[in-house]
């Protein structure tokens, strides 16, 4: 089913807001032990948004979307590894 | 109505840019994934060194750089939209915006490297800084290469007063978005994750 894409400006505002929240979380550690998981989720969300809506990968034909989603998941795994090993 | 729906659906399924650029981008992503994984491995081996070095980085400067690159990506999305409507003026204006943001990023990174240099911190100071410089310099080279291509495509469009090749605009925009994604991860992994307040 066709869905109206979110405007690029609205996505940009959301990306900037998520960036500010992640930096505030990282600098203040306001969420305690949940700070790093929050930073990982925010970073992954931002990257996925750029892939899906700025690169227009949401509807690309072929295996590209699966490959990009797999890469995003793999990097999220690496970020979890960093936190668990710290 | 049915025909309009089919045309819209076909448009949605179209691959932006060329298949070659998607292959290139994915190879680039694999290389950066390997760098991130080795960074994580090294960090888990000597976390204290990484933590103390990480605390010397300026997170607010990283925030400014992230905002600048996200804005640059926003300009490139709008440039692609304008190119699809053959609106040369809007393509030029938005590409100029992307170029200006990229130049701000380059100046900001240069200032960051210079301040580190003044503090006596270099490529070989420790393992963390080897990764820091390697990742950010390779990323910066991506920014510079992207900047050159955006500018040359913009000059072609201005000269011909037309968008002679939509794929080239889409290709450079896709590359530019990848530069943005890589920075989102570099910023998260190198500047933010694992820092203890």
| pLDDT tens digit sequence for B70-127 | 999 999 999 999 999 999 999 999 999 999 999 999 999 999 999 999 999 999 999 9
Chain B interface includes A68 (CB < 8 A): yes
Distance CA A24, CA B194 (A): 14
| Domain assignment of residue A68, yes or no | yes
- How many angstroms separate the CA atoms of B108 and B14, rounded? 37
Q: Does B193 touch chain A (CB under 8 A)?
A: yes
Contact B32, B188 (CB under 8 A): no
Q: What is the pLDDT of residue B6?
A: 54
pTM over 0.90: yes
- Looking at the domain B18-192, which fold is it? 1.20.120
Which residues in chain B are contacts of A70 at CB distance < 8 A?
none
- Mean pLDDT lowest among B3-12, B93-102, B171-180: B3-12
Map out the domains of chain B as residue ranges: 18-192
User: Could you give the C-alpha distances from B160 to A47, B88, B150, B155, B164, in angstroms and in order?
Assistant: 35, 9, 16, 9, 8
Residue A20 lies in a domain: yes
CB atoms within 10 A of CB B7: 10
Range of the domain at A14: 8-84
Is A2 inside a domain boundary?
Answer: no
Total domains in chain A come to 1
Using the 8-state DSSP alphabet, how is residue B94 labeled?
H
Any idea which residue has 């905002």 for tokens?
A: B67
- Assess A77–B contact: CB distance below 8 Å, yes or no: no
The owner of tokens 């710290």 is A86
Residue A76 belongs to a domain:
yes
Q: Taking residues A78-86, report their average pLDDT.
A: 91
Q: Among all chains, which residue has been given the structure tokens 């892939």?
A: A51
Does some domain include residue A1?
no
| pLDDT tens-digit series, residues B36-76 | 999 999 999 999 999 999 999 988 899 999 999 999 999 99
Residue bearing the bigger pLDDT, B148 or A33: B148
Q: For residue A75, is it within any domain?
A: yes
The sign one gets for the Cα dihedral B125, B131, B135, B138 is: positive
Min Cα separation B159/chain A (Å): 27
What is the structure's pLDDT at B1?
Answer: 44
């Amino acid at each position: 089913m066709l869905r109206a894409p979110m405007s690029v400006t609205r996505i940009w505002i959301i990306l900037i807001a998520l960036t500010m929240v992640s930096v505030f979380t990282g600098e203040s550690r306001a969420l305690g032990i949940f700070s790093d998981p929050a930073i990982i989720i925010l970073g992954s969300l931002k990257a996925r948004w750029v892939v899906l809506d700025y690169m227009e990968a949401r509807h690309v034909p072929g295996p590209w979307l699966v490959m990009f989603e797999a890469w995003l998941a793999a990097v999220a795994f690496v970020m979890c590894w960093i936190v668990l090993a710290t | 109505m049915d025909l309009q729906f089919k045309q819209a659906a076909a448009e949605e399924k179209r691959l932006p840019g060329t298949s070659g650029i998607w292959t290139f981008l994915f190879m680039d992503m694999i290389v950066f994934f390997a760098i991130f994984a080795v960074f994580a491995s090294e960090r888990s081996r000597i976390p204290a060194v990484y933590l103390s070095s990480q605390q010397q980085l300026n997170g607010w400067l990283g925030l400014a750089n992230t905002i600048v690159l996200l804005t640059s990506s926003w300009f490139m999305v709008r440039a692609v939209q304008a190119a699809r409507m053959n609106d040369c003026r809007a393509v030029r204006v938005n590409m100029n915006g992307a170029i200006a943001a990229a130049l701000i990023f380059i100046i900001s990174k240069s200032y960051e490297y210079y301040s580190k240099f003044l503090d006596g911190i270099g490529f070989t100071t420790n393992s963390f800084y080897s990764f820091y410089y390697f990742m950010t310099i390779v990323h910066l080279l991506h920014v510079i290469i992207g900047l050159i291509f955006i500018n040359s495509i913009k000059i072609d469009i201005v000269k011909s007063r037309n968008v002679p090749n939509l794929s080239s605009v889409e290709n450079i925009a896709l590359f530019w978005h990848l530069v943005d994604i890589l920075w989102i991860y570099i910023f998260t992994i190198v500047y933010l994750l694992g820092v203890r307040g």
